[in-house]
Amino acid sequence: MQIKNFLLVAPRMIEDEHDTALFPLGIAFVTSALKKKGFSVHTLNLNFVKGEVGEIVLNHVRENHIDVVMTGGLSVQYRLILDILIPAKQTGALTVVGGGIISAEPAVAMEALQHADIGIIGEGDITSYELADALQNGSDLHGVDGLIFKHDDRYVMTNPRKEIDNLDDLPWPDYEGFEIQKYIASGSSINGMHHKHTVSMISSRSCPYSCTFCFHTTGTWYRKRSFNSFFEELDYLVAKYSVECLFLFDELFSKNFERLKEFCTRIKPYNLKWSAAFRVDDITPQMLPMLKESGCIQMGFGIESADNSVLKSMRKRITIEQTERALKMVYDFGLIMQGNLIFGDIEETMETATNSLKWWQAHREYSLKLATIVAYPGTFIYNEACTRGIIKDKVKFLQDGCPQVNASKMTDQEFGNLLQEIHDAQLDELEPLNYHIYHLHPTAGRVDMTGECVLCGVKNDWQNVKLFTTNRVNCKKCHQRLRIPFDSNILQIIEMNVVTILALYSKVALWGMAAYAVDVIKKLDILANENVYLIDISESTQHATIMGKEIFAPSVINAHDIKAVVVLPSDFYTNIKATVAVEYPCIKRVFNMANLIDNMVLLDVPTKS
């Protein structure tokens, strides 16, 4: 087989081109590396092509005479990646997968994906073009570092790929190849920042810390770009795309005060709004005026727990006292905070969890989110769960979408009760926005709102807000997060649509018990109907109830012959829809909860024959 043409495919993360998602920086870096070396490269961004994924990939491969299809992503995107591989293999093309899904557990991922011929372990920039060169020349793949592939009916891994030393040597991501202009036009809801003309960039790779719940997809060595390189790239983006807002996608932006000072000095003349990730133990009073004056509007923090014994177990190397000090400074200075408390560490008990919940309740002004730890492949907690037999089958765990498991010191029932407490607590965290106008946006699943911030009283306008992805908006004056109220008319439309689905299919499953969706379904009378089933893939969540109603595993779909599913967390719609298509072919229709706010939606969704 003569290798000539390569196709790099970004998985479909959104269903509607007006939705927002992060630009696929990882695969865009790989694409630009291949193009720089002169290979014949085609790109396909499934987020902006309507139709069935399999048919799109088949047609693209055949029409462009593609020999090698390359894609990748994270472990939780398993189904989305598989959707690309299956049709690619039908054409006879070679298939290559990279990203965190391979790097975390190479052999497990290859076995689970089944249709991947070659996996790229670690950073793919150099590996990809060395692989492409070997394929074109018919060279032995054993000589290319950072690969996994099947040889003599078993998977073999080549020598580890050395992490890239000088990030300035890398070409910029292939922005045009993956249609960055469409990401920019759609607006941003990245971490709660609602701004159009937003771009994501990196100034570093990896992180110098090793928290037990993290896996660093770009390696373990923390490396930084020079600011000359960074700002040259930013100049290009600003000039070509009129960038107004910058999201720094670094795992950790900067620990060095002098480096941060230089960045603030250099970015200030651009008059951009920007956001980045910081650590609470680095925050000083001298830092905050510098950040705010340079355009920083949001600071992300890894808070994780309010109990010092859990923080120690997590290897966070911070204390709750440091967190309290940093958050108070940031809040008093008027910057937005982004952070979570995550429950379920291996040393978590009901006592430590209660400590964190009480602390959170005493500091609601910070608008921190509550969540549970997910044992992603490659993390310490994942390895612990496998060793203890909590995760019994690594391949099935990956295929199931990495469901949340209980690796804590709590019993499953205690953990289920905790999850219910977390759900209930978040629904009462802030007074809702005082709104005056709340009407449907022309784009499905969205609303426009005008209202007053209940904290500072300033009138705000929010356009094109996608519901069921978050339950908050930011005040554009004081930057405080405010809970979105649900208009009674929209609640009636949702109820009417669910009733109509029941009339058509007799039974319906509501999948994904995200807090912001549960807040709404609790208000629906239809919830009491015995033919409405609640589903969540997390075994711990299945120990909880909602309004006294049991939460089932997805297997209830086959057991009760359910034909329709409504996905509650809109940001997981594509993933769950892909899972349903493979695992539950009996399902005839899959609805996005966000789209049920439109009283015409049922006329627009085709029935699966």
pLDDT tens across 573-608, in order?
Answer: 888 999 999 899 999 999 999 889 887 655 444 445
pLDDT in tens, 56-70: 999 999 999 999 999
For residue 18, give every residue at least 6 positions away whose Cβ sits within 8 Å of its Cβ, in sequence order, or none.
Answer: 186, 443, 446, 464
| Residues forming beta bridges with residue 43, ordered by sequence position | 8
- Ordered by start, the domain boundaries in the chain are 5-157, 187-372, 434-483, 488-604
Say how far apart CA 543 and CA 211 lie, in whole Å: 28
Residue carrying structure tokens 């720094």: 248
- Token duo for residue 194: 């609602």
Radius of gyration of the chain (CA): 24
Q: How far is CA 89 from CA 67, 345, 412, in A?
A: 10, 40, 41
Q: What local confidence, expressed as pLDDT, does residue 606 receive? A: 44
Q: How far is CA 141 from CA 102, 133, 163, 401, in A?
A: 17, 10, 19, 30
Q: Please report the beta strands in 164-295, taking only residues with DSSP state E, as ranges in sequence order.
A: 188-190, 193-195, 198-201, 204-205, 223-224, 245-248, 273-278
Q: Considering only CA atoms, which of 151, 479, 540 is closest in space to residue 299?
A: 479
Which band of pLDDT confidence, cut at 50, 70 and 90, is reported for residue 609? very low
**pLDDT(377) > 50:** yes
List phi, psi (to 5°) of 478. -95, -5
CATH number of 5-157: 3.40.50.280
pLDDT in tens, 7-40: 999 999 987 766 767 899 999 999 999 999 999 9
- Contact between residue 593 and residue 446 where contact means Cβ atoms under 8 Å apart: no
| Residues forming beta bridges with residue 341, ordered by sequence position | 304, 370
Supply the DSSP symbol for 48. G
Give the range among 307-316, 415-424, 477-486 with minimum mean pLDDT: 477-486
Give the strands of the sheet with 549-552, arranged side by side. 545-546, 549-552, 532-535, 508-511, 564-567, 589-592
- Contact between residue 191 and residue 297 where contact means Cβ atoms under 8 Å apart: no
- Contact between residue 428 and residue 435 where contact means Cβ atoms under 8 Å apart: no
- Token duo for residue 171: 């070409």
Relative to beta strand 459-466, strand 446-452 is antiparallel
Say how far apart CA 165 and CA 150 lie, in whole Å: 29
Q: What local confidence, expressed as pLDDT, does residue 190 receive? A: 52
- 264-273, 359-368, 426-435 — most confident range: 264-273
Q: What local confidence, expressed as pLDDT, does residue 437 receive? A: 59
- Look up the CATH superfamily of 488-604: NAD(P)-binding Rossmann-like Domain (3.40.50.720)
pLDDT in tens, 470-488: 667 777 777 677 777 777 8
- Contact between residue 30 and residue 124 where contact means Cβ atoms under 8 Å apart: yes
Average pLDDT over all residues of the chain:
90
Say how far apart CA 67 and CA 79 lie, in whole Å: 23
- Contact between residue 553 and residue 537 where contact means Cβ atoms under 8 Å apart: yes
For residue 465, give every residue at least 6 positions away whose Cβ sits within 8 Å of its Cβ, in sequence order, or none.
Answer: 189, 194, 441, 446, 447, 448, 449, 473, 484
Choosing among 2.60.40.1580, 1.10.10.10, 3.80.30.20, 2.60.40.1930, the CATH entry for 187-372 is: 3.80.30.20
Say how far apart CA 458 and CA 455 lie, in whole Å: 8
pLDDT in tens, 115-152: 999 999 999 999 999 999 999 999 999 999 999 999 99
**pLDDT(99) > 90:** yes
Q: What local confidence, expressed as pLDDT, does residue 118 receive? A: 98
**pLDDT(255) > 60:** yes
Residue carrying structure tokens 């209980």: 406
Q: How far is CA 6 from CA 43, 46, 71, 122, 145, in A?
A: 8, 16, 11, 20, 20
**pLDDT(429) > 90:** no
Q: Considering only CA atoms, which of 487, 494, 478 is closest in space to residue 436?
A: 487
For residue 505, give every residue at least 6 positions away whose Cβ sits within 8 Å of its Cβ, in sequence order, or none.
Answer: 562, 563, 564, 588, 589
Q: Do domains 5-157 and 488-604 have the same CATH topology?
A: yes
| Percent residues over pLDDT 90 in the chain | 70
CA angle 504, 19, 102 (to 5 degrees): 95
Q: Considering only CA atoms, which of 314, 103, 281 is closest in space to residue 211?
A: 314
